[in-house]
Structure 1
Amino acid sequence: MLAALAVGLAAILYILVVGLLARRVLETPIGWPRAIIVGLVVFVASVSLLRAVELGSGLLAPAGSLAVDRVIFVLFITVAAGWTVACGIGILVALELVWPTRHFGGPVAAVKAFRARRRRARRYAQVLAIASRHGLGPLVHGGKVSDAAAWLPGALVDALNEAGVTFVKFGQVLSTRDDLVPPEYTRALATLQAGSSTVAWDRIRTVIEQELGGPIDATFASIDEQPLAAASVAQVHTATLLDGTEVVVKVQRPDAAAQVRADVDIILRLAARIEERTDWGSEYGVVDLADGFAAALNEELDYRIEAANMTALGRIADESESAAIRIPRAFEAVSTARMLVMDRVDGEPIGASADRLSQLDPELRTELAKGVLDAVLEQALVRGMFHADLHPGNLLLTADGDIALIDCGSVGVLERSLRERIAALLLAVINDDDIGTTDVVLLVAEAADDTDRVALQRDIGRVLTRMQVSTQTGRIFMQLLDVLRDHRLAVPPAMTLAFRTIVSLEGSLRRIDPDFDLVETGLARVPHFMRRMLAWRRVLGAAEATAAVAAVQARTMPRRIDAITSSLERGTLGVRVRAFEGTDERSWIGSIVAQLTTTLIAIAGIVTAAILVVSDAGPFLTANVRTTAFVGVVIGLAAFLLLFRSLRVAFVRRRR
């Protein structure tokens, strides 16, 4: 009984020692479950090892009594136990290299993580249930649906509507991708722009009063309880201000923010898993796409951003050469994060205006599409701020025959230098100039030193050649982005957003004019806007700014020249190297040197230990072991511990 208790206590002590020393040597937390398992296995093996050391080293006489001094016996057993600990640490190092410990950050973090996983699992189950309820279950689970062409698009729209904000927004994006989605689906998904389910007035009224901080009649003379439209994130009601101005009130759905956060969390995790486990996910940058989609959704939840964007775009529209578009005025004084008040515009989305558009003269439809494109190109190329979400639901055909742009939550901003290069790029593209396009691309995007520029030009040339006979120019722009990504060129996000806007705009313009050609009738206007960008006033202003900077620099030149010549005369001129001047840089260099030193010492120790162990020189410490061999074993133990730590620092990415 006492012997079993002693063995048990020894096993517990051994496990603690192995676990704590492994953490100390590796400087990283190691999960106790694996430390316990490894400790038990090595402890069982160490019992046989210690017995073999006792018998093989001559510590015990044949009768079982000690054949050496007690001090020597303790030293041998201690070193042998040390090697068993080293073996345990080595196994833990190998496990950490192959299967790093996952850290949960304590009980509180573990509980929070569990609740988050439970919410995600519940949401997963909810989405799958919605899909099954609308007959999409076989598709979700990889099965087949027979005779689905007639009813599947409508069922998909119903399922997305019921799934909530994020999935409705996803459907809206797909409705503009005629290059990816069949026509029957894009037509059905277009109804998502104005076909979302409504929210009861009592809940909407509560949101309005919370945002106003008081009763509704303190701000509005009247408000219609019946919604004018129900969008993916908000619901719109007509109202009248106290001064008689007719407005619409865009109110965020009560559960929109929470639903978006839950769905975005699911989307980001799925994107990370897809990019990690698939080649196409990494190639197309699924995580970056998901991050951009998430950022756009989060911006849509703050209507103060949209109000500011409407004011800026409205100013651009008022000063524009094109009168084809209008931007509703935002009343920023009474708008809040969850409520936006703006001018009332009589019209309907072009995605739902097929009958009315069909009654217009074809030439008028073409001119209307040209005017919209002109206005958007002027926003992007001349003014540098453009509406970046131009799907058919955000373009309203007004009673006057104009187009009003709504939902200004997502805008793009292009600095002047980038605008000039994008304009030059478009000019090269529409002229089928692969050399010029490549040159401009290399000015816009960051290329690595090993970029094959000949192959890049060849791939760009293929895209431009296909564009000459393509009926979907927007798709060509996405193919051009794919070429840049394949050649690992770092494209500015604003440029990517501009190209994606062209894709969305082309889908919207084709609803206005089905025969609209973005190259022949649209991008041919680029030279006009480039001339406006390079107007003599702008060029003169840029020249004046450059001259002013040069003048300031010229005034400091005499003093700099005098300082250099004075230093030459005194013989004190020197060159200061600023590399590794910062604290972080010095710390990094110090860690590299320390790691290298530790590794070299460990290797030298192992070599020394091997030489001493096989050496025949020196007196015998026991009947079978020489003193030099015993010293070599001790040195080898210390060297292996140092090597474990060095390997851990060098090859295992620390989890922070």
Structure 2
Amino acid sequence: MGTNGIRRLNRYREIVSLLVKHGFGYIVQEVGLTDTLTLKDRLISDFKQGNSQEMGYRLRHLLEELGPTFIKLGQLLSIRSDLLPVEVIRELELLQDHVNQVSINEIKDKIQLEFGQAVEDIFVRFNETPVGSASIGQVHEALLPTGQEVMVKIQRPKIKETVLADLEIIKDLSKMMENHYDWAEHYHITDLMDELSESIKNELDYMKEGRNTETIQLQFENHNGIKVPEIYWEYTTAEILSMERIDGIKITEIQQLNLTPEEKRQIADRLIESFVTQILREGFFHGDPHPGNIHYIPETKQLGFIDLGQIGRLSARKRYDVTTLMIGLMNEDTDLIVKAMYRLTYVPTSVDNKRFYDDIDRVSKKFSHTPLGEWNFGLTINELFSISHNHQIYIPTDFMMLGKTLITLEGIISDINPSLNLLELAKPYAQQLLVERYNPVKFGKRLWNDAEDMAESFTKIPGQLEEVLQKTSEGDLKVKISVHELDDIFTKIDRLSNKFSFSLTLLAFSIVVLGLIVGATFGTNTILTSIHALEVGFVIAFMMFLWIIYSIIKTGRF
């Protein structure tokens, strides 16, 4: 076994040991990893499940002890309110990077390795005391030769190797869970973990974070009220990111400034406007807008966005559907809400459309008598996700991230001024989007694009039909049938066979009776005629006929 294999095996043992320590031993036992435990771990293993709050508490501490990869995984899972109980979600939202600072010598060695120069030769000044230390990177203040104050994010030494190894293990564990738990297979845990793993890998590449920052910056290049830090590419690599320093306070700390209600409303309005631009106009938005990542700059009265490693993306079609959902919620239009939910999620063929519509309608009517300014948008979104979950509808991670982002924004706005409401602030922008949607030029362009898609689909039909006919003639046609459809097919086969059995039985009965009648008519002198075989045979044949008919009818498949 190579070095990587040994490292992976040791990491497996560490993970399994911590699972048992924090009360998740039953998972270890059921997926067949008990053999990796030491005798001590087996003796202390506890296979008892607690309630949701206790489980969430234990899960949070387990992930924190497992390290940066699992902390990031837990933070990303905290947006999956469709899969996890609310008590678990609340605990995952408390996940913190409890890590030690990287020594300044290691930081300097890392910088020299990346740039081929000593720190003193790159920066005029480099503050050896970090302003922040997280599981993946550590941030230091520095001064460039140009006189620009910057924040330098340096990736922890060897963290990439650790994270990538952990992600491989997570992939293995998710496959094991799908093999042992029906719910894991139903919710495509492997696919979900692949999505989350991709998000974590993206955060390891600071070049991507730099490009994300520039993209958001371009969205607001003509907006004086939004500040996004400039990236200094000459001092940036995949593992070191140098960006403009933004001086400000957390947006939730503006209470310290004694602002007037009107000024607070302007700040909240600007925040909503910025995210309407990101989400509904550009389809590229800050995926982690917690208060620490949104600053308020009192001197310029600007909002500053930082830490853009986690980004949400929405295609043009999804932006259209999200707008439809927002308009449906504001206008209490169940048809629009259902239409948008169907387009934004993966709906199985087995879903009961009427029941789903009725459940959405119930939520719509529940809030229909609530003034817009008092409407709890986060509660509404969570109810929509819960209904989808109950109907076994899968919600993609990008839609979940969007929901989480909007709920976080609602909380920030409430902290700024409890009397303000997200939907009330967003309504003017939604109305503007509605007007733009039916703009004759844009409407015509959308119709033209749809017509092009339909024309392209039609042109493919002859080729697809020819391919099906060719495979059929060659006996190579494969048909995919779901379990539900397979059961229907077997039912139909049973009905056909039962009808066939009924016909044969009726024919046999008729032949027997006919034979007996012929024998009695021609007066053939046999032992059968001497014992009234006609009557006896008729009775026996009739009883058999009734028994077969009863058996067929009893199956309910006739």
TM-score by length of 1: 0.57
1:335 paired with 2:227, answer no
Q: Distance in 1 between matches of 2:101 and 2:225?
A: 31
- The superposition leaves residues 609-643 of structure 1 with CA deviations (integer Å, 9 ceiling, x where unpaired) of xxxxxxxxxxxxxxxxxxxxxxxxxxxxxxxxxxx
> 1:122 matched to which residue of 2?
14
> 2:527 matched to which residue of 1?
none
TM-score by length of 2: 0.66
1:501 paired with 2:405, answer yes
Show the 5 A alignment for 1:180-199: 180-181=86-87, 189=94, 192=96, 197-199=100-102
Residue 182 of structure 1: how far off its partner (Å): 9.4
Residue 545 of structure 1: how far off its partner (Å): 7.2
Q: Is the 8 A contact 1:176 1:392 kept in 2?
A: no
1:578 paired with 2:467, answer yes
Residue 295 of structure 1: how far off its partner (Å): 1.8
1:368 paired with 2:267, answer yes
1:226 paired with 2:129, answer yes
Taking a change above 3 Å as real, the CA distance of residues 242 and 441 of structure 1, as seen in their structure-2 partners, is same
Residue 115 of structure 1: how far off its partner (Å): 4.9
> 2:213 matched to which residue of 1?
310
**Secondary structure in structure 1 of the residue aligned to 2:140:** strand
Q: Is the 8 A contact 2:79 2:400 kept in 1?
A: no
**Secondary structure in structure 1 of the residue aligned to 2:230:** coil
Residue 298 of structure 1: how far off its partner (Å): 1.0
Show the 5 A alignment for 1:183-262: 189=94, 192=96, 197-262=100-165
- The superposition leaves residues 251-278 of structure 1 with CA deviations (integer Å, 9 ceiling, x where unpaired) of 1111422332344345444444445544
Which residue identity is paired with 2:193? A
> 2:541 matched to which residue of 1?
none
Q: Is the 8 A contact 2:359 2:387 kept in 1?
A: yes
Residue 355 of structure 1: how far off its partner (Å): 6.2
Residue 171 of structure 1: how far off its partner (Å): 6.3
Show the 5 A alignment for 1:368-407: 368-400=267-299, 401-407=301-307
Larger CA Rg, structure 1 vs 2:
1
Taking a change above 3 Å as real, the CA distance of residues 280 and 523 of structure 1, as seen in their structure-2 partners, is farther
Q: Distance in 2 between matches of 1:169 and 1:491?
A: 20
Which residue identity is paired with 1:118? N
Q: Is the 8 A contact 1:418 1:444 kept in 2?
A: yes
Taking a change above 3 Å as real, the CA distance of residues 440 and 312 of structure 1, as seen in their structure-2 partners, is same
> 1:413 matched to which residue of 2?
313
Q: Distance in 1 between matches of 2:255 and 2:319?
A: 38
Residue 184 of structure 1: how far off its partner (Å): 9.6
Pick from 190, 193, 197: which aligns with 1:294?
Answer: 197
Which residue identity is paired with 1:302? D
Taking a change above 3 Å as real, the CA distance of residues 160 and 516 of structure 1, as seen in their structure-2 partners, is farther
1:441 paired with 2:341, answer yes
**Secondary structure in structure 2 of the residue aligned to 1:238:** strand
Taking a change above 3 Å as real, the CA distance of residues 270 and 519 of structure 1, as seen in their structure-2 partners, is farther
- Higher RCO (Cα < 8 Å, 6 or more apart): 1
Q: Is the 8 A contact 1:223 1:237 kept in 2?
A: yes
Taking a change above 3 Å as real, the CA distance of residues 157 and 437 of structure 1, as seen in their structure-2 partners, is closer
Q: Distance in 1 between matches of 2:288 and 2:162?
A: 21
Taking a change above 3 Å as real, the CA distance of residues 219 and 282 of structure 1, as seen in their structure-2 partners, is same
Identify unmatched segments of 5+ residues in structure 2.
24-43, 481-558
> 2:491 matched to which residue of 1?
none
**Secondary structure in structure 2 of the residue aligned to 1:368:** helix
Q: Is the 8 A contact 2:78 2:90 kept in 1?
A: no
> 1:169 matched to which residue of 2?
72
Q: Distance in 1 between matches of 2:271 and 2:399?
A: 20
Show the 5 A alignment for 1:431-510: 431-445=331-345, 447=347, 449-467=349-367, 472-489=376-393, 494-510=398-414
Which residue identity is paired with 1:501? T
Q: Distance in 1 between matches of 2:278 and 2:91?
A: 31
Q: Distance in 2 between matches of 1:156 and 1:496?
A: 21
Taking a change above 3 Å as real, the CA distance of residues 438 and 158 of structure 1, as seen in their structure-2 partners, is closer
Q: Distance in 2 between matches of 1:119 and 1:344?
A: 38
Q: How many residues align?
A: 444
Q: Distance in 1 between matches of 2:63 and 2:91?
A: 13
Deviates more, 1:116-125 or 1:526-535: 526-535
- The superposition leaves residues 132-185 of structure 1 with CA deviations (integer Å, 9 ceiling, x where unpaired) of xxxxxx99986999xx9xxx99x9999876653234435656888999359996
- The superposition leaves residues 161-216 of structure 1 with CA deviations (integer Å, 9 ceiling, x where unpaired) of 665323443565688899935999699x38x48x7542211111122122213223
Which residue identity is paired with 1:439? K
Q: Is the 8 A contact 2:195 2:397 kept in 1?
A: no
Residue 472 of structure 1: how far off its partner (Å): 4.3
Identity %: 25
Taking a change above 3 Å as real, the CA distance of residues 392 and 576 of structure 1, as seen in their structure-2 partners, is closer
Q: Distance in 2 between matches of 1:447 and 1:141?
A: 35
Q: Is the 8 A contact 2:255 2:416 kept in 1?
A: no
